[in-house]
Structure 1
């Protein structure tokens, strides 16, 4: 099997651990560790990579490959900076990219989304992440990433896939568009603190809540019927336009995958998400359970 072949088109954009084991030595394959953890998780992505990673994997840190001039967390970089960063890791326009994370399914979707919006033609996510790789008896490598020959990656940003603050404000005022927030229900209602100090909890008035934990089980994205059931519970119509959001643009990408799985890809992801919204002194903040739009 060539690395350009997908074992199960219906499971896109995921590949299984067994598929990756069979294709790990294919020349155009690049495995990317995109692990990132919130402070409350008490995990160190860099240390974990040095201790154990998939052989040949390169490290992608969303807090390094970002807009360094923007004070908001891990905002997307310019196309030029993205191309330079991934090219330095040996990733080119023809690479078959497989992204994973150490949690199973948490930050890998964000890295997958970044590659996608910058024009990568062949990028997938390892289903179940590093835990699934270990469970499949995949081989493990220690230490820093192996040196790779620098390559040329041509980055072209799909601006329509990235929602900024003015677009979100317009969407919230438009009853035909749904802004879907992936944070926990308690944070959305303003009953639990945000992980970032000084940031109030609550929600954007007019948004709806779908905690990302309701579409993920044991590190795997749930099946289409379970995702549809979760949408119905929260009054979300997948046939209407959707923009996903969360705390800082990470778990929003999980919801984007969920909408893709049921055949209704979202219009965009709000890159700054709640952190950008709530950082403004004049930001309107809702609390409690909002009425269904």
Structure 2
């Protein structure tokens, strides 16, 4: 919205009438990972698990403001690739060659199975979109994410920087 207004494109506070439409969606279950899938992946390593949260929340020192009952940290074996790195300072998506470089710097192989995660499964979708821009149309999302993992996983499967495990 900020960039829309900055470009002096039209905005209104009027209510715009809309005609009801029917949207048909088809779930592709291979693009949605469950707690059990991620738990099984700890030993099988069938897919790469990439966390889209900021580094401070991934590593552990930076808690989520106002988030009672959940500590920062990450799923053991996951790689951190913050979604904000895919954006320019103005909030636009970076060009594909820059996005590819970010994946490469983190050692994420886009030819191998990939699952994105985050805190609640929302910003993981940005990581899935970034991989899609690079031609990878099969990136899955673990939408239970750190919120579910924190509450359900065994302590040895949770990583925290600078303190002992839960």
Q: TM-score, normalised by structure 2?
A: 0.85
SS in 2 for 1:279: helix
1:178-217 equivalence runs, <5 A:
178-195=48-65, 196-217=67-88
Structure 2 CA distance for aligned equivalents of residues 256 and 155 of structure 1: 18
Contact map agreement 2:31 2:139 (CA 8 A) in 1:
yes
Is the partner of 1:221 in helix, strand or coil?
coil
Runs of 4+ in structure 1 off by over 6 angstroms are none
Out of 239, 244, 249, the position equivalent to 2:121 is 249
Separation in 1, partners of 2:134, 2:22:
34
Map 1:206-285 to 2 at 5 A: 206-217=77-88, 218-280=90-152, 282-283=154-155, 284-285=157-158
Residues 184 and 177 of structure 1: CA distance in aligned 2, closer, same or farther (over 3 Å): same
Q: Deviation at 1:266? A: 4.0
Structure with the larger RCO, 1 or 2 (CA within 8 Å, 6+ apart): 2
TM-score, normalised to structure 1's length?
0.50
Give how far 1:281 is off.
6.6
Alignment match, 1:288: 161
Gaps of 5+ in 2: none
Distance 2:97 2:42 in 1: 27
Gaps in structure 1 of 5+ consecutive residues: 1-129
Equivalent residue, structure 2, for 1:39: none
Paired residues in the alignment total 159
Alignment RMSD, CA only?
2.0
Q: Residue 269 of structure 1: SS of its match in structure 2? A: strand
Q: Matched residues in 2 for 1:159 and 1:176: separation? A: 16
User: 1:173 offset after TM fit, Å?
Assistant: 2.6
Contact 2:131 2:139 in 1 (8 A): no
User: 1:233: Cα distance to partner?
Assistant: 2.0
Aligned to 1:169: 39
Structure 1's 197 and 261: CA in aligned 2 closer, same or farther, altered over 3 A? Answer: same
CA distance in structure 2 between the aligned counterparts of 1:233 and 1:204, rounded to whole angstroms: 20
Contact 1:172–1:179 (8 Å) recurs in 2: no
